Amino acid sequence: MIEGIFVDGLIFAIMVLGILISFRIMDMADLTCDGSVATGAAAAAVCITHGTSIFVALVVAFFCGVLCGMTTAAIHNKLHIPGLLASILTMTMLYSINLRILGNKANLPLLRVKTLYTELPSFFSFLPEEYASLLGTLLVVLLIKGLFDLFFRCDIGIAIGAMGSNEQMVISQGMNPENLKLLGLGISNGLIALSGGLLAQYQGFADANLGQGMVVQGLAGIMLGEFLFSSNKIHLLTLRAIFGAIMYKALMFFGRKYGYLIHITPNDFKLLTGVLVIISLFVASTRSKASDNEARKKALARTAEHQQNNLNVEAK
């Protein structure tokens, strides 16, 4: 069962990496995610049931996500409305589009077709079935993390980060922030849709309601990761986001498994995720208060020491 958590967590981690781009690196509240994850799942599922290869299905899912993100960015750029509102528009429109992609059905089962998770056991035949799935997913995540880190160390990646920190500076340095937003949100939602495409194959169906509440879950993952360590280096930021994603899925797993003992049902999970985010924010703020207090105590101690020294000098 434990491998299940990790596979689930790793697939979720790809989405968390996408959310990391919009919420943390670009400092934009992008809710497109709730729609694009389902778009990715639907696109991949339709491709697979129509007999394309798994790789092509995932590439299609990725680019569908890129389109979703770019739509949000374009609305935000051209109509000068906040990213939050632009993304809510896209998200809402995507719900209908996802139903269309699924052929006007709410879900599409992936039974009796080859998916990544039916193929992996034969690919890694030296491993037990569950571990083959885990290894395959891990390799995909590591590949994405590697490319992600490289991208955000190259010139254009750094420019996207600079825009998140100070848009005026990016303009002053001769770059069009509109293009950077198109690119950033495109990649962000591409990863989210890719995660959706993998999830559909793992759970064996694509569902139009898959995306509900995904942003908040992703944020919970990011915040859990941020408790682990602090850094400004991109490869550590992505690493802790991946750990955070797995931690979140583990929490949810144990919630499902032992929650009945305290009368928690899966219906309560959205509430609990929200509470988890609130607790994370609360702990983060108390942490900074605690370090403020510590600094104050040290300062007071120093003042007392100075006074003591002065008294000593006077006494002499």
Partner 1 sequence: MLELSHVTKVFYPGTVNEKLAIEDLDLKVNDGDVICIIGSNGSGKTTLFNLISGTIPVTSGTITLNGRDITRMPEYKRAFTIGRIFQDPTKGTAASMSIEDNLITASTKGRKGLRISLTNEKREEFRELLKPIGLQDRLKDNVGLLSGGQRQALTLLMTVMSKPQMVLLDEHTAALDPRNAQTVMDLTTQYIQHYHLTAMMVTHNMQFAIDYGNRLIMMDEGQIVLDFAGVAKQQLSVEGLVKLFKNIKNKEFSNDEGLLTTD
Q: Where along the sequence are the contacts to partner 1 (CB under 8 A)? A: 150-151, 153-156, 158-159, 161-162, 164-166, 168-177, 232
Minimum CB separation of residue 71 from partner 1 in Å reads 22
Minimum CB separation of residue 81 from partner 1 in Å reads 19
Minimum CB separation of residue 176 from partner 1 in Å reads 5
Locate tokens 């898959």: which residue? 210
| Cβ distance to partner 1 smaller for residue 143 or 169 | 169
Q: What are phi and psi of 246, to 5 degrees?
A: -65, -40
| Cβ distance to partner 1 smaller for residue 166 or 286 | 166
Minimum CB separation of residue 86 from partner 1 in Å reads 20
Burial of residue 85 (number of CB atoms within 10 Å: 0-12, 13-18, 19+) = middle
CA distances to 1, 45, 110 from 269, rounded to whole Å, are 20, 26, 26
Q: Which residues have a Cβ under 8 Å from the Cβ of 135 and sit 6 or more positions away?
A: 120, 124, 127
The gap from C-alpha 279 to its chain's centroid, in whole angstroms, comes to 19
Minimum CB separation of residue 224 from partner 1 in Å reads 21
Nearest-5° angle of CA 180, CA 186, CA 191?
130
Minimum CB separation of residue 48 from partner 1 in Å reads 31
| Cβ distance to partner 1 smaller for residue 173 or 285 | 173
| Cβ distance to partner 1 smaller for residue 127 or 175 | 175
Alpha helix locations (H) across 20-128?
33-49, 54-79, 83-101, 116-123
| Cβ distance to partner 1 smaller for residue 150 or 300 | 150
CA distances to 31, 224, 300 from 291, rounded to whole Å, are 33, 20, 14
H helix or E strand, kind and range, residue 222: helix 214-226
3-class state of residue 205 by DSSP: strand
| Cβ distance to partner 1 smaller for residue 29 or 97 | 29
- d(CA 145, CA 197) in angstroms, rounded, equals 17
Minimum CB separation of residue 294 from partner 1 in Å reads 19
| Cβ distance to partner 1 smaller for residue 153 or 287 | 153
CA distances to 16, 301, 304, 308 from 312, rounded to whole Å, are 59, 16, 12, 6
| Cβ distance to partner 1 smaller for residue 229 or 258 | 229
Minimum CB separation of residue 80 from partner 1 in Å reads 14
- d(CA 226, CA 232) in angstroms, rounded, equals 11
Residues in the chain: 316
